[in-house]
Structures are given as structure tokens and as C-alpha cells.
Amino acid sequence: MHTKSLTELSIDLIQQKLSSTELTQHFLERIDLHRQLNAFITVDAERALDQARAADRRLGRGTPAPLTGIPIAHKDIFCTEGMLTSCGSRILSNFVSPYNATMIEKLRQQDTVILGKTNMDEFAMGSSNETSYYGPVANPWDESRVPGGSSGGSAAAVSAGLAPAATGTDTGGSIRQPASFCGVTGFKPSYGRVSRYGMVAFASSLDQAGPLTRSAQDAALLLQATAGFDPRDSTSVDRETPDYTATLTADISGLKIGLPKQYFGQGLDGQVELVVREALAHYEALGARLMDVDLPNSALCVPCYYVLAPSEASSNLSRFDGVRYGYRTQQYDDLTQMYAKTRAEGFGAEVKRRIMIGTYALSAGYYDAYYLKAQKLRRLIADDFRRAFEQCDVIMGPTTPTTAFTLGEKTDDPIAMYLNDIYTISANLAGLPAISIPAGLSGDGMPVGLHIIGRYFDEPQILNFAHRLQMGTDWHRRSPPGYTS
């Protein structure tokens, strides 16, 4: 059951070849069996089975939605009514949400089952899933390596067959980078396509929710269920939602694939490039045309991001003060000390680092020099993409410069960690949709992701290109050794 796609599972449920209760129990047992991955923070088996039984009743009435009865894991950044929502942080280690995020709400309206909440980098700040208060997540392809971050728990869960699909969030690559490291499909929609209501904010102008699945077809199904305008989210775009599954097999002959020279230069591992080039050759065989494009400001994406994102984080995380909810220090003499000790004890080192950087960048005398200049650069980066898309239909390249690195390898070098997102950050700065799909394995047997970026709100085009590769290859069906049965 754990090797089947969402489409296959949905058909089995509708035809009553299996029940949601049986399916949910199967995944709960796998989660328990592979606890060493540390992919989950919270698992509520009783609640999940109750939801599965309710889904079975809907299936029995013959009125199912496309995802009725499907168990799904959710990143622990989405507020989930009656469940712990910790964001991987000590400061929210006792926070039980009183409401559902829109992402959760829409999936529950289809009677999906909540398997649990997945582990993540604290407040989504990290590229390795090592900053979590609940400990690091292991990569199922090699448990000595990181799964990527910040949605590493979700990626590891889908890769290991602990869940058929999971939700994630992407601020600078936090869906796509772990998808690449774990050999799954990770999709970041256009900014504003999926509601951010109830998704705990890291950097509000960059955060976007999206799915982690085995295939592009599965990603289309989840996006169909979760996309759309939400009046509760001021950044949600009131735009018609297309049928994402309708064009998955459209002809790509004659379409142009842009290859930025900046994505194939210094710093790119040779094994990663080889796998990506083989995937590009597959597209050529399907009739697509490869062409070079220029994104001249790509090298400045990382410094731009690490001014803007920490600045927004500094503002967003000011609400966690020990007064209204969450962790509060036990001993203090006055209100000021309570604030200081609560935040010092409640936040981890990486979160503190980014709050300090952001506060500095926003401070009097430095705002113009750092934050304002970064915003201007952000516009130049978006303009680079606009000019590139005048020449091509999609942009492709590697998702990450290397395969997954070992646990602890980069924890003492924040800059090296930040540079791992060098190919993914630009899509967030520009607000563009992007997907990472499995393209093959490196020489040491680790997954390599192909990164596809599209025009604003052109998710169908990206999904089509991703699906066409997966129709002709089986990399998305591969499971890590030891997790097939």
C-alpha cells in the first residue's frame, strides 16, 4: 500500500478494495516501525483512526471527494485544531491550536486523515532539519545524512513510505531542497496561490505552502484540493483555479527549456550535473528545445534573501513572548526579564541568529543600507526572470548543488548551510512557482532533483513538464533501500 500513488489509493478506496481504516492503520504501523527517522513530532493514532472510520462512512454512501480516506502528514507549522503545533520549537512545545489552518481545513473537507505532525527546522529556519527542538531527522536513503530542511520531516515521511503525501512550506527552498535530498516530488506554487492563513509565519513575503508527494500527478491532486482564494489571508490572490490534472499529458514538442548558465557553473557537483543533463536529454527526445538564458543577479540571491527573510522573521517572531501562549520561563523578577529569559530559553541558536540579523537590518541607520537595498535587488531578480521567460517556457537546472550531506557536517558553518539553497531562493524572491522532481541517483546512490521554474501562476505548465519526465522514467517510484516492504 505504501508504494502506491494517491490516484491508485483513491481508486482502491472508491472501489472498496481496501478501507481508509486499513490504510491508516498500515501507515501508523510504519511510522511506529521507523521511529529512528524522527520524522514525526506528534502522532495521534486514535484520532487518525476516528477520521478514517468517518471517511469510510462517506465512501460507503458513494459521495467521496478525490482524496477521501487518504492519510496525509502535515508539517508542524500548520495550526491544527486540538493538536500540538510546535514549529519545531521549545517556545511552542505546549501550544495546542484552537483552529485549523486553511490548508488543513480544505483537506479535512475532503475527509482526508491526519496521520500526525512532521518534524521541521525550528520556525522553518534551516536547510537540514537539524535545528528542531525535537532533534534532527534522518534521511531514509542514508540515515547518516540530513533529509534537507525545513520540511525535512515531511520529505522523509513520504520517501520512507510513512505517508503517501505530506504538506510543507517553502520560504527559500524548504519544500524543494528536502524533496531533492529524499528523492520525492516537492512543489512550491506561485506566491498567493495557496492560503497562508493558519501557517505560522517565518517571512511573510516569501512563505508559501505546498505538497510533498511521490509524483507530479499526486502533487496536482493535492494542489487542486488546497489552492484558491482565501479572504482570511491578505496575500491570497483572487484568481480562478485551473484543473491541474487536465494538462498533465499535453505535448511539449517545440516548447523551450531555458538553462541559466549561472546554475551550471562553479560549485555544482559533477555527479549532480550528470544526472540533470540526462534528464534534460529526455526532454529533448520528447521534442522540447534547450536554450541558454541569463539570470545575471543569481549570485546575489543568497545575500538578498538573508537580509529580507531575517528582517521579516524579527517582526513575526516578536509575538512569542511568554505572555499569551507557549513556553514561559519559570523564574523572573519583572516583565522585562520575563520577556528576555523566555525568548532566550525558548528559541534555538539559529532562530536567535536570524532575529538578531533582522533586527540589525531594520534598525535606524541601517534600514536604507540593508533592507531597502535588498528590496531593490529583489526587483532586479524578478526582472531577470521576466526577461528569461520572454525567450523560454520553463527554466530548468539542479535543485541543489550537491546531494544530501552528513548530519553535523555544516552545523558550525551557517554560510555553507545557506549556500545549499542557492538555486531555489530566487523563485521565492520572485514569487514564481517551482518544483523539484527525482531525476536519478548519484554515484553513491543518493537522490538528485531536477528543478523546474515557471511563469507566475503557470503551475499547469510545470506539472506537465514534471509528469512527462515521470511518464518515461521510474525514479519517482524508487524507494530507499530497507523501506520497500
Q: Shortest CA distance to 399 belongs to which of 127, 5, 167?
A: 127
Q: Is the dihedral of CA 157, 160, 163, 168 positive or negative?
A: positive
Q: How far apart are CA 22 and CA 157, in angstroms?
A: 19
Q: Peptide bond before 150: cis, by omega within 30 degrees of 0?
A: yes
Task: Report the Cα 450 to chain-centroid distance in Å.
Answer: 15
3-state helix vs strand vs coil in the chain, percent to 5: 40, 15, 45
Specify the pairing of strand 434-441 against strand 185-188: antiparallel
Q: Which three cell numbers stand for residue 452?
A: 523546474
Grid coordinates of 298: 543569481
Measure the CA–CA gap between 193 and 370, rounded to whole angstroms.
Answer: 29
Strand residue runs (E) in 261-335? 289-293
How many alpha carbons lie under 13 Å from residue 409 in its C-beta half-sphere?
17
User: What values do phi and psi take at 478, rounded to 5?
Assistant: -70, 145
The C-alpha atoms of residue 382 and residue 16 are separated, in whole angstroms, by: 48
Amino acid identity at 70: I
Query: What 8-state DSSP symbol labels residue 432?
Result: -
| 304 close to 429: Cβ distance less than 8 angstroms | yes
Strands (E), 267-364: 289-293
Sheet holding 40-43, edge to edge: 40-43, 113-118, 71-75, 165-170, 208-213, 185-188, 434-441, 447-453, 394-398, 256-260, 289-293
Residues annotated as part of the active site: 75, 150, 174
Give the span between the Cα atoms of 317 and 269, in whole angstroms: 36
